[in-house]
Chains A and B, each alone.
Chain A
Amino acid sequence: MAHKKHDAHGSQDFISKYVFSVDHKVIGLQYLITSLLFLLFGFILLMILRWQLAYPGQPIPLIGRLLSDNLAPGGVLSPTFYNALGAMHGTIMIFLGVVPLGVGAFGNYILPLQIGAPDMAFPRLNMMSYWVYLPGGMLMLLSFFLPGGAAQSGWTSYPPLSVINPGQTVWLLAMLLIITSSLLGSINFLVTALNMRAPGMSLWRMPVFVWAQLVTAVLLLLAFPPLQAAAILQFMDRVAGTSFYLPANLVVFGETVRAAGGGLPLLWQHLFWFLAHPEVYVLILPAMGIVAEIIAANTRKPIFGYKEIVGAMIFLGGMSFVVWAHHMFVSGMSPKLSNFFLITTMIISVPSVALLTCLIFSLRGGSIRFTTPMLFALAFLPLFGIGGLTGLPLGLSTTDIYLHDTYYVIGHFHYVVVTGSIIALMGGVYHWFPKWFGRRMDDFWGKVHFWGSVICMNGVFFPMFIQGLSGVQRRLYDPTAQLHNLPTQPLNIVSSVFAWLLFVAQIPFIWNFFYSMFKGKKTEENPWKATTLEWACPSPPPHGNFEKTPHVYRGPYEYSVPGHKNDWTPQHVEA
């Protein structure tokens, strides 16, 4: 059955070329468009939610009328819908947006090209990854139309409430599909990177981006199954009446929950964070890989400490499995255990700092080209730095007890994920757009998008540090209900206004993306004069990528090598 028809070589009709494609490039673009749409959707949920935070109890203009009466009576967001928006914003952004964008889109498209492979190791498994991810995502969105509404227990789905609240069953089913998709993808990435490298492409000649994807795939492979198991148990709790996460005699809203009991709510937290901490590195490692590629190409010099960067990534990946309980310092954990997780957390900050330092040192002495992708990569450095450094007080159990579940935490992880991951991924879109479509994105609108995004992102997230330090808790429906929150309430308005402006700043990007796809300036195969292999094949690359398998003669970043005619020597060039 497998070899009967020669995959995708034969029929090239619309369906097999663009819908059920086995070509890693088409699948990469499918992931790209889908995940960008999910990001936009998750962002829209947030904008509705930010109205309630800025102007609690006031009807939402325009959108309020469109929402049904049980979601927003009289245009005012209901508490349950507020909770659903928060839970779905987090889930969609992380599991349907950033990870599929960083791994599914960029990894799928760029990794095989950068190692000189004709395709992924298992093309049809690759197609299946996408076609499991998309239904999972759609199912997640459909949960909004359930009788009880979508999941309301935050993206972390802590029991016992997540077992009792409506909407969660579909959330769990969707998560099982998304996890399966990630697992299939990670196996494919690992086999491809290990087995399909072009002759001469030794491990130490792989670009940083490939290494980042490799470590990410290991994390997905080993960290997602525990969440899958945990999700199965929660699913059993909801559907089969088991009580893995329900203690005996649990009272909710004045009524005793009917359950066999004997379960442990804390068990979920352990299993969840055993995945969700490595997940943080799944979000950030591909971004760091992209930044390294962009910086190397735009400083015209080798990146500083290539082996150190790779070593730090591997160390980071390994350590990420032993820090999970730093999310649980206030869960009543024994101080001895807290100390263990405190120490491992401080240790894991070392490779993160090493990575960032190497990237910053890479700028030194370079003749920097301030192209649009380079602006994004440069912005990543200080902003991710803020995100990382503000994480330290959360990793120390003493300070975390004060800061836990405040807006400080929200500010911290949004600095990591938005001004870290998403900024870098945006830079990646501008960097590889010429490769994807053979055309360039407009530079002027790219810069408008860049400055608009960077300024607004800081406007949204920086006030959160101040709010958090003054004790404002996260997930509050009405922030003005508590007296101690009132002094910082104006900051909520600042945050919200910047969130809406951030949306406006994305319009030039959306327009630029689709306009340039069809009408952009045509470009040659290597517009940035970069050295890695993906620039050695035509733009866009044909099916099968390389006309003949490239031979690799040198490391990935040989820029400005003394004695060479050009300031760049591609990996596949012999002399």
Chain B
Amino acid sequence: MSATAHASDPLDTVTGIPNGKLGLWLFLASEVMLFSTLFTTYLVLRMASVEWPRGWEVLNVPLAMLNTFVLITSSVTMVLAFAKAATRDKKAFNKYLGLTIALGFVFLIVKGFEYGAKFSHHIAPSTSIFYAVYFTMTGLHGLHVIGGIVLNALLLYWSSKDWDHPLFVGRIEYAGLYWHFVDVVWIFLFPALYLL
């Protein structure tokens, strides 16, 4: 994740934007395209269907609501972790990043309960086109949550030895950008699948 093996100052770039930050924004642009394609697919399939189940009638809205709060809270703790890294408060940083990771796990566990309830009723992706969309989109989002947890856990691990690295605060910022993106995707997924 370091910039280059050669550049003397990794922040000294032509555009003034660090390589890592620019790279991450470009990556997020491609992620936007990935998820927009899925949302478009959802729209097209729904418009072409004769009937489409109401999300709130077949899905567990309270659990999803809980998960929405969990993710939003985790975005707040992520911002706090970044702020603490910037002000060099290592103890508070560890606390908030740890909390972010824990909230990520909470989200996955709640999601697991939701999936489990569906499977126990013999509802699977193959049940109907609605459930195909539901499982594929939330599943892909879940994979992104796992990716974010792994990334944050690595940073938590690195903080013990890389704390004084000039790029460290930047890395927390980029991880935060990614985490907020995962959050934003859920903010769109939740109403699209559960409430509409």
Chain A interface residues toward B at CB < 8 A? 1-3, 6-9, 22, 118-123, 125, 183, 186-188, 190-191, 194-197, 221-226, 228-230, 232-233, 236, 240-244, 259-264, 267, 271, 274, 544
CB atoms of B41 and A262 under 8 A apart: no
Task: Give bound CA distance, A236 to B35, whole Å.
Answer: 16
Closest to B4 in A: A119
Stretch at the interface among B24-32, B111-119, B179-187: B24-32
Known: A8-B5, A226-B34. A196 touches B13 (CB 8 A): yes
Task: Give bound CA distance, A261 to B17, whole Å.
Answer: 48
Interfacial chain A residues near B17, Cβ < 8 Å:
195
Decide if B76 is an interface residue (CB 8 Å cutoff). Answer: no
Digit string of B8-45 for contact with A (CB within 8 Å is 1, else 0)?
A: 00000111010100110011011101110110010011
Chain B: residues with Cβ within 8 Å of the partner, total of 43
Pick the residue among B23, B44, B158 that contacts A122 (CB under 8 A): B23
30 contacts between A and B (CB under 8 A): A2-B2, A2-B167, A8-B5, A9-B5, A22-B5, A118-B4, A119-B6, A183-B27, A191-B26, A196-B4, A222-B29, A225-B31, A225-B33, A225-B37, A228-B34, A229-B41, A233-B136, A236-B132, A236-B136, A240-B126, A241-B124, A242-B126, A242-B132, A243-B126, A243-B129, A243-B132, A260-B127, A262-B49, A262-B128, A263-B132
Interfacial chain B residues near A121, Cβ < 8 Å:
3-4, 19, 23
Known: A241-B125, A259-B126. 9 other contacts (CB 8 A): A1-B162, A3-B165, A118-B7, A186-B26, A191-B23, A194-B14, A228-B34, A240-B132, A262-B48
Interfacial chain B residues near A191, Cβ < 8 Å:
19, 22-23, 26
Question: Which 3 A-B pairs rank lowest in CB-CB distance, beginning with the nearest?
Answer: A241-B126, A262-B129, A242-B132
B127 to chain A, nearest CB (A): 6
Closest to B126 in A: A241
Closest to A9 in B: B5
CB atoms of B132 and A244 under 8 A apart: yes
Chain B interface residues toward A at CB < 8 A? 1-7, 13-15, 17, 19, 22-23, 26-27, 29-31, 33-35, 37-38, 41, 44-45, 48-49, 124-129, 132, 135-136, 140, 158, 162, 165, 167
CB atoms of B30 and A183 under 8 A apart: yes
CB atoms of A271 and B41 under 8 A apart: yes
CB atoms of A261 and B129 under 8 A apart: yes
Known: A3-B165, A225-B31, A260-B132. A244 touches B26 (CB 8 A): no
Known: A121-B23, A240-B126. A221 touches B30 (CB 8 A): yes
Closest to B2 in A: A2
> Counting chain A CB atoms within 10 Å of each CB, which of B33, B135, B140 scores highest?
B33
Interfacial chain A residues near B126, Cβ < 8 Å:
240-243, 259-260
B132 to chain A, nearest CB (A): 4
Task: Give bound CA distance, A224 to B30, whole Å.
Answer: 8
Pick the residue among B19, B34, B135 that contacts A195 (CB under 8 A): B19
Interfacial chain B residues near A233, Cβ < 8 Å:
41, 136
Task: Give bound CA distance, A121 to B44, whole Å.
Answer: 39
Known: A225-B33, A236-B125. A188 touches B23 (CB 8 A): yes
**A-B pairs with CB below 8 Å: how many?**
140
Looking at chain B's contact residues, is the secondary structure mostly helix, strand, loop, or mixed?
helix
CB atoms of B45 and A263 under 8 A apart: yes
A470 to chain B, nearest CB (A): 38
Interfacial chain B residues near A190, Cβ < 8 Å:
22, 26
Closest to B5 in A: A7
Pick the residue among A120, A197, A226, A544 that contacts B14 (CB under 8 A): A197
Closest to B35 in A: A229
A557 to chain B, nearest CB (A): 21
Interfacial chain A residues near B33, Cβ < 8 Å:
221-223, 225-226
B190 to chain A, nearest CB (A): 19
Interfacial chain A residues near B135, Cβ < 8 Å:
240, 242
Interfacial chain B residues near A261, Cβ < 8 Å:
129
CB atoms of A263 and B129 under 8 A apart: yes
Pick the residue among A183, A241, A264 that contacts B48 (CB under 8 A): A264
Interfacial chain B residues near A6, Cβ < 8 Å:
5
Pick the residue among B13, B31, B37 that contacts A271 (CB under 8 A): B37
> Counting chain A CB atoms within 10 Å of each CB, which of B3, B27, B30, B127 scores highest?
B30
Interfacial chain A residues near B29, Cβ < 8 Å:
221-222
Interfacial chain B residues near A125, Cβ < 8 Å:
23
CB atoms of B45 and A262 under 8 A apart: yes
CB atoms of B19 and A122 under 8 A apart: yes
Interfacial chain A residues near B136, Cβ < 8 Å:
232-233, 236, 242, 244
CB atoms of A194 and B125 under 8 A apart: no
Task: Give bound CA distance, A240 to B6, whole Å.
Answer: 47
Known: A1-B158, A225-B30, A226-B34. A196 touches B41 (CB 8 A): no
B22 to chain A, nearest CB (A): 5
Closest to A197 in B: B14
Known: A2-B2, A195-B15, A232-B140. A242 touches B37 (CB 8 A): no
Task: Give bound CA distance, A194 to B25, whole Å.
Answer: 13
> Counting chain B CB atoms within 10 Å of each CB, which of A195, A225, A241, A274 scores highest?
A195
Task: Give bound CA distance, A260 to B124, whole Å.
Answer: 11
Task: Give bound CA distance, A9 to B6, whole Å.
Answer: 10
CB atoms of A119 and B45 under 8 A apart: no
Task: Give bound CA distance, A240 to B140, whole Å.
Answer: 14
Task: Give bound CA distance, A358 to B158, whole Å.
Answer: 53
Pick the residue among B7, B30, B125 that contacts A222 (CB under 8 A): B30
Interfacial chain B residues near A122, Cβ < 8 Å:
3-4, 19, 23
